[in-house]
Amino acid sequence: MKFGMMKPRIMKLRFNVLLGGLLLAAMPLAVAQTGMLNVPRTVEAGSAFSIPTSGSGKAVLYIVGPAQVLRREVKLGETVSFAAGDLHNAGHYLALLVGGSGTENGAFDVVASHPASLSFLAKPSRLPVDLQNGISGVVYVFDTFRNLVIAPSEVTFQLSGVAGAGQARTVTTRDGVAWTKLNSATKEGAAQFIARDGGISATRVIQQVPGDPCRLRMNARLSNQKLGDPKLANQKLTDHRPAQQRLTLETEPVRDCGGNAVPDGTIVTFKEIYKDGEATVDVPVKRGVARTEMPAYPGATISVATGVVMGNEIRWK
Amino acid sequence: MVSSLIFCSIFAAIFVFAADEPEANKAAVRVEPTTSVGPRTLEKQTETAVVRDYLEAWRSMSAALEENRPQLLDADFVGAAKQKLTDTIHEQARLGMQTRYRDTAHDLRLTFYSPEGMSLQLLDTVEYEVEIVDHGKVIGTQPVRARYVAVLTPTEVRWKVRVFQAEPQ
């Protein structure tokens, strides 16, 4: 019976403890939330807006966010006006009106204004011609206050300036960003990579250089040059017996698969295999062709290669 | 009745004390699966580094705004984000104000990793408290739930926040 009497008392005590604790813990919050301030739901960055107040006396209005903070002394009962440009950073803001009788609060968002600039990253700045999806462009859209414009807008990417039809692609921004990938042109040269959003644009230059050599062909003829010529210093001979005559070997203009001349300095390798040995010469392309001299052994086979491309073979009689 | 008051006081004291514990200040972090992030493939190590550096940026921002020391932003912010926070700190100092940001929960979604790996965007539904202090006096504390957009870019040793902006939910 005693236990039966005790249970309701313990339960009541626990309830009081819980209720009292919660009330005490919530007190600071309750003090801060004595009233709701009539703030606009959203404000466009940099635009004028106002916050009405009620009551009488003096108070201080705080507008607080990580991106900006404002503090105004106000007369209660009047409307607090903020001029254009006063609050220009996008973000979430708290508004607190602290007066003699209490605190009113509210919250609102400042959203970005219209697109005013593009942060355009184009990569790479130099690449071979005719590369599928070789060029990437990323655009972040900002307003005049460097706020990221979250609202969707259309960005057009255009690659032009080289012979042939340019490429264009329109992409809708998502959370302020748009991106694309484009092919490099088939012809070498500087291309203009333009990103455009309405009336604003940003341009980057993409240098498109020839790709790897595609077709290699050489010719051979007798020359009168003698051994010991300094031009032959690179020659690696496994047989040092001098030949009576020498051959001048010269490639046709070395080009990539798109017909673009490969850059000077590209290495071309000539190889001669003859009865008692072999000789190899590495020659840089100069003015579009590679040229060298090698001993003219009767029956020798001469081949040419650059990179992974093999050229024609010549059998000297 | 007296015993109730004593218990209430003890309970409330424990509650407040717990809130002041550093461990209690650690925000709960949830990261959504990143399988659909693109166009560049996001490696696990990169994801870990980005999340770690972003959360660290919140901590440095909180400290910088509380202590009005813009140099605390140097390690984690760059570009427009750093400039705007620095301006806020200078304005706070001029007005005699401080703000204390206590992030309690982050719900992160990595949304974009640029083709060349030069920028990464994430969305964060974050819950935090803001305490406003004016000339040393606490004016008020407000709980906030907001959606932040952040763009991070890689630097020599870490990811830094280049864009940091709340947007309407």
Q: What does the pLDDT look like over A260-275, one tens digit per residue?
A: 888 889 999 999 998 8
Domain count, chain A: 3
> What sign has the CA pseudo-torsion A207, A212, A215, A217?
positive
Domains of chain B (ranges plus CATH)?
27-167 (3.10.450.240)
| Domain shared by A259 and A272, yes or no | yes
- Minimal Cα–Cα distance from A12 to chain B, Å? 10
A130: left (phi over 0), alpha (psi -120 to 50) or beta: left
Place A237 in a pLDDT band, splitting at 50, 70 and 90.
very low
| Domain shared by A224 and A311, yes or no | yes
pLDDT at residue A43 in the model: 95
pLDDT tens profile A114-132: 999 999 999 999 898 888 9
Pairing of strands B28-31, A309-315: unpaired
Q: Is residue A12 part of a domain?
A: no
CA-to-CA dists, residue A161 to A165, A188, A206, A208, A210, angstroms: 9, 10, 10, 11, 16
| Domain shared by A228 and A199, yes or no | no
pLDDT at residue B150 in the model: 97
Which structure tokens are listed for B142? 């407000």
Q: Is the pTM of this model over 0.90?
A: no
pLDDT greater than 70 at residue A317: yes
State percent of chain A over pLDDT 70. 81
- Minimal Cα–Cα distance from B48 to chain A, Å? 22
Residues B41 and A50: beta-carbon distance below 8 Å: no
| Domain shared by A222 and A309, yes or no | yes
Residues 78-137 of B with CB under 8 A from A: 80, 83-85, 87-88, 91-92, 95, 97, 99, 101, 111-112, 114-116, 118-119, 121, 123, 130, 132, 134
Residues 148-167 of B with CB under 8 A from A: 149, 151, 163-167
pLDDT at residue A2 in the model: 44
| Domain shared by A95 and A69, yes or no | yes
More confident residue, A101 or A313: A313
pLDDT at residue A3 in the model: 43
| Domain shared by A125 and A174, yes or no | yes
Q: Is residue A26 part of a domain?
A: no
pLDDT greater than 70 at residue B134: yes
Measure CA of the first residue to CA of the last residue in chain A; give whole Å. 127
| Domain shared by A189 and A268, yes or no | no
| Domain shared by A85 and A127, yes or no | no
Q: Among residues A92, A111, A130, which one ends one of the domains?
A: A111
Residues A173 and A149: beta-carbon distance below 8 Å: yes
pLDDT greater than 50 at residue A72: yes
Q: Is residue A16 part of a domain?
A: no
Place B18 in a pLDDT band, splitting at 50, 70 and 90.
very low
B24-54 as b/e: b if 16+ CB within 10 A: eeeeebebeebeebeebebeeebbebbbebb
| Domain shared by A158 and A104, yes or no | no
Residues A255 and A214: beta-carbon distance below 8 Å: yes
* Nearest residue in B to A99, CA atom: B139
> What is the mean pLDDT of the segment spanning B61-71?
96
Q: Mind giving me the DSSP string for A86-126?
A: SS-S-EEEEEEEEESS-EEEEEEEEE--S--EEEEEEE-SE
Q: Cα(A207)–Cα(A128) distance, rounded to whole angstroms?
A: 8
Task: State which residues form the domain around A284.
Answer: 213-315
pLDDT greater than 70 at residue A12: no
Q: Is residue A23 part of a domain?
A: no
Average pLDDT taken over every residue of chain A: 83
| Domain shared by A223 and A309, yes or no | yes
pLDDT tens profile A137-193: 999 999 999 999 999 999 999 998 766 668 899 999 999 999 999 988 888 888 999
pLDDT tens profile A284-308: 999 999 999 998 888 899 999 998 8
Q: Is residue A147 part of a domain?
A: yes
| Domain shared by A205 and A278, yes or no | no
Task: Kindly provide the ipTM of the predicted complex, given to two decimals.
Answer: 0.84
Among B40, B61, B84, B161, most A C-beta atoms within 10 A, so best to mutate, is B84
Place A54 in a pLDDT band, splitting at 50, 70 and 90.
confident
| Domain shared by A82 and A43, yes or no | yes
Weakest mean pLDDT among A3-7, A22-26, A78-82, B63-67 = A22-26
